[in-house]
A and B are shown apart, each in its own frame.
Chain A
Amino acid sequence: MSEIMLEFSDFGFQYNAQAEPTLEHINLTIRKGEKILIAGPSGCGKSTLAHCMNGLIPFSYRGTCTGSAKLCGREIRDLSLFEVAKTVGTVLQDSDGQFIGLTVAEDIAFALENDCVEGTEMHERVKEVAAQVGMDNHLFHAPNQLSGGQKQRIALAGIMVNDVQVFLFDEPLANLDPATGKAAIDLIDRLRDRTGAAVVIIEHRLEDVLYRNVDRIVLMNEGKILADLPPDELLSTNLLSQCGIREPLYLTAMRYAGVDITPEKHPSDIRSLRIDGTDCAKLRTWMHENPEKPAMDFSKVLMETHHVTFGYRPVHTVLKDINVAVKEGELLAIVGTNGAGKSTFSKVICGFETQQEGTITFDGVEDWQSLSIKERADHVGYVMQNPNQMISQNLIFDEVALGLRTRGVPEDAVRTRVENTLKVCGLWPFRSWPISALSFGQKKRVTIAAILVMRPKMIILDEPTAGQDYAHYTDIMEFLRELRENGITVVMITHDMHLMLEYADRSVVFSDGRVICDDTSAAVLTNRDVVRSANLKMTSLYELALLSGISDVKGFVQRFIDYERKECRS
């Protein structure tokens, strides 16, 4: 057995501001060279555990520790934050927020500067590490010239300069598109092979992390470790779904078809999955027994863009000849890489930006072009990604009422409309609460309610589920589906493939300012060319279908979606 890096025994932690301990009875050992995935729903304590590993607890966040937490055999509380950071390097979730320097080189050099490393040596070390993460050609780029994936690689380089022995990744995939996320997991794997360091990944997107082998999955719930098992064994249990963690889609499909999942079948990776003839037959029978539901018919066009072209500067067009029709009552996903133009598209619709060419028509509105931002907002609502970017009032009621009050609606009418909206949004029980007491997901609901109260026919949501675990994700998405039942058309800008598959009636794929595909999500995610150019990932259901000898792959995926909607969400 190799050297023990981190060792927690009967460890517990309680924040000073909290009434109950966030972590209890943690027993966990991490050795050199191991790769561990820590998974668990929001609020299970996995981020707190990460803070305990990198020294932010007890040195930055105050609270009470019980039991023992050792790094390389020494109690962490006897060290200092800086000593811990020399051994444990952390890549935070927010790859933009942790970018400290004005340029790539300065950011990588940050730890060296603080260690008083001299000029020449520092320049060489930065060059060397930048080359290891493939960023040596970007040394003097500013953060706003980099993509999310590149920023994350810089963050990684920034801790690699220290020769750390434990790499800690806090939700590394949260802000990345699927293909970039895959590349990140790949890079982490190569890093472990080369340095022999221990790697700890905290993430609830299990399937994406398991793209490269991990040694153990530590499953947390309510502040305790529920399981600490090799992936094959853990995935053969029902523990994940009990904790509200999404298991890989191909396993869900296998369970639907009644296939037993055992460690011998290597369920941790679709490429190593061993299924026998009986299993394949079960899958095929299941497909046969669950015919595809006829697609819902959305015929009435609500909003349509005709040859819309837009650029912030004349030479640099962000949108090129966009023709998209949004049908009344549908849930539409707009997908594509960062910078592909999907956010700009929504800004043009809302009137935040004005297109240079082309027109937009909206059903029942004459001359959409001439409407101001405020006038368009009566028809199309726009919800930003981070609810903190929209909330300005103390009380939920006032926040939701804001849009009506600025429009001069009489106060008694405001009251009834706000109350109705709060009921629709499931916020009625909280109506007199201060907003600061709400969870992130509830705040998101408040911002949606604040838009819905103006009775738009269509709402556009920017990354509605970013950073949410499966339970909150389901919560928000089911809510959006209910809205659709109430006749509201929902357009979502996202790169969450699960969202596309499970909820969107249709996906419009942007790439480099153009629409390259406009089809059902099942068709999009089984189309290799589209997947590649839009930085998406083939769904693992595709591979499962091939593995079990099903030729109508798209049909299989569609049936899976239909089955899920019917069985699990009604």
Chain B
Amino acid sequence: MSFAYALACRECGREYGLEPIFSCDFCFGPLEVSYDYDLIKDTMNVASIEAGPPTIWRYSPLLPVDPQYKVDIGTGYTPLIRADRLARAIGIDTLWIKNDTVNPTWSFKDRVVSMAIGKAREFGFEAMACASTGNLANSIAAHSAAAGMDCFVFIPDDLETGKVVGSGVYHPTLVTIDGSYDDVNRVCTELSYQRPWAFVNINVRPYYAEGSKTLAFETAEQLEWRAPDRVVAPMASGSLFTKIWKGFQELEKIGLIQNPTTKMSGAQAQGCSPIATAYEAGSMNFVPQKPDTIARSLAIGNPADGYYALKTMEQTGGGAAMASDVEILEAIQLLAETEGIFAETAGGVTVACLKKLVEQGAISKNEETVAYITGAGLKTIEAVSSEIRQPIHIQPKVEEFDAALEAYN
């Protein structure tokens, strides 16, 4: 069962039933799932969690989906890795990497899609759909295939090959649109009122977004039930960023962690930085941008949760930073060379911004920090292929190798 009992508007507080709706009928504000935390507190504890499966479903009382409708291809409970070599390289004492590149479709999107498709099945939808910058497309196509559901995926027409093939292989109806993600999202939002489909990030978005809380639940559990001093996480729509903070707050509500004082820092690419730009200007009103960055998975110029991401920074004493394309590429390599983790461009954004925030003194050396690496590098291989050192090429002779190695070093 689920302990969710209503949707409520974050702006005006109007309540709605648990339906496939996403914005307040009155003020257009976002709807958020309400839970009965007293009941959850009675059933969820460290022992019950530890007895659960090694996936996101170990936290099911704090999720909006009745587990009987779940489509489980093994999402979550990804490693939290102590990153001492990277920590030394950027000048911080204690750094952890939440390595979410190892999910079934190699990004954190499997967490949110798990919620969306479970809830869609519960509502009786027969088809899934989404607007995506690529990772979501991969995940919804895979989960729909596993569930035997029809799937309609809409993406901008400039995505990396890995993202396109990584959707197409599951055989959805794949539509590339001549425009940016924001164009794709507008078209899908209009379509969502006309087609009887569950659009994961539109009409079932309140449930979908809840999946990102599991990043906080896992982190707290892996830190033996406490929250870190600092989080650095990428921001596209700002949803993941705000839900990580919500996750820590919920664990406090049910008594699993005490008084989280985590400062939330968001990372964006300079070429698409509406939230970080507003933060730097000291404004709660972001100005939309036309994205131009290699970090295509973060290329949302009109972020749905931009306002709430800024509120989260204000509330937690966190902040934001932005990274240039060159810095993103350097950071992908730094993470790979120090920790053995190959991240997609969004991971480069996160590491580059972490490094920058430490250099600026915005993050102090002694803050225990968790950086969220949300997608795998093989998805965006184009971005780094010209950056890596060319291999040594030889004829199959030992002498050639000896000579070539000397020249190489």
Q: Answer whether A and B are interacting partners.
A: no
B interface residues (Cβ-Cβ under 8 A, vs A): none
A interface residues (Cβ-Cβ under 8 A, vs B): none
